[in-house]
Amino acid sequence: MFQIKTYNAIAKAGLKKFNEEHYQLNQSETPDALLIRSHKITEEELPNSVLAIGRAGAGVNNVPVEACTEKGIVVFNTPGANANAVKELVLANLLLAARPILEGANWVKTVTGSNIEEIVEGEKKRFAGTELQDKKLGVIGLGAIGAMVANDAYRIGMNVVGYDPYVSVDTAWTISSRVKRALTIEEVLRTCDYITIHVPLLPQTKQLINHEKLALMKKEAVLLNFSRGELVDNKAVATALVDGHLKQYITDFADEQFIGNEKVLVLPHLGASTIEAEVNCAKMAARTLKYFLETGNIKRS
């Protein structure tokens, strides 16, 4: 019987659901493995008994990966398990960027009087939008999520260009041949109307979008970030929005820089927050962990 320490309800739920006989969920100080979701594991917190840490999610930036590697602890994630949820939210936000849906809906509730319909008809031109069809979308990072966003954006009529110097063979097969590939990130930034970031947070990607990169973007461009807040220099974004170098920033990551800024739409890290994605991640993490503890290998299913 393996001892598994879990930190979040979702990870716990996945383990329970998958296979109660092989695991004992407890808060043992000598667990064989840790299963986590949002909990940030510190180096000091790593028990010597641990052989693996599974993250029920895509990013592993809440795990001290280097320290784990030094100690021989295997760290794994659940790639693709929540990709559909993130993709759907990105597509929804592309539509929100093109059409003032929220602004129109909020305004219409404030209209009063006996002739509401007439007032609304008379003023609705204030809320005219644009279409996504034929607009150019740049997808930076073509992993599981980026590939799905690129394919579906193409299906709704956008011209899609992707950039990723390290795309895996598995993901490469899933990317539609209609998605053009850019050789440099600068090419994407210079030419696209909408740019969405789908890269992991690593030392090399921290503040990937900085002042210099923002300066390359079209003045009317919209930037979307549903990956990690630290990929973008928020101060530089706030300045670019004031200087008119960027039309809108849509992000899943709060920052005090954005308080009261009407050109920024901030969500409370909802990308993977669907019931389906949470179950998928928890199940994949549990299966992967079971296989690892039994065989010493990582194989996702």
Interaction site with ligand MLT (CB under 6 A) = 38, 57-59, 82, 269, 271-272
Question: Minimum Å distance from CB 223 to ligand MLT?
Answer: 18
Question: Minimum Å distance from CB 272 to ligand MLT?
Answer: 4
Q: List the beta bridge partners of residue 181.
A: 162
Amino acid at 12: K
Question: Minimum Å distance from CB 120 to ligand MLT?
Answer: 38
Question: Minimum Å distance from CB 73 to ligand MLT?
Answer: 19
Question: Minimum Å distance from CB 56 to ligand MLT?
Answer: 8
The percent helix, strand, coil of the chain (3-state, each to 5) is 40, 15, 45
Of 206, 204, 185, nearest to 196 by C-alpha is 185
Token pair 């709060």 is at which residue? 254
Closer to ligand MLT by CB, 167 or 281: give it: 281
Closer to ligand MLT by CB, 59 or 104: give it: 59
DSSP E strand boundaries for the chain:
2-6, 23-25, 33-36, 52-55, 74-76, 136-140, 159-163, 180-181, 194-197, 222-225, 248-251, 264-266
Closer to ligand MLT by CB, 190 or 269: give it: 269
Closer to ligand MLT by CB, 32 or 252: give it: 252
Question: Minimum Å distance from CB 279 to ligand MLT?
Answer: 13
Show the CA angle centred on residue 37, arms to residues 32 and 38, nearest 5°. 125
Closer to ligand MLT by CB, 82 or 196: give it: 82
Closer to ligand MLT by CB, 24 or 168: give it: 168
Show the CA angle centred on residue 201, arms to residues 271 and 211, nearest 5°. 100
Number of Cα atoms under 13 Å in the Cβ half of residue 48: 0
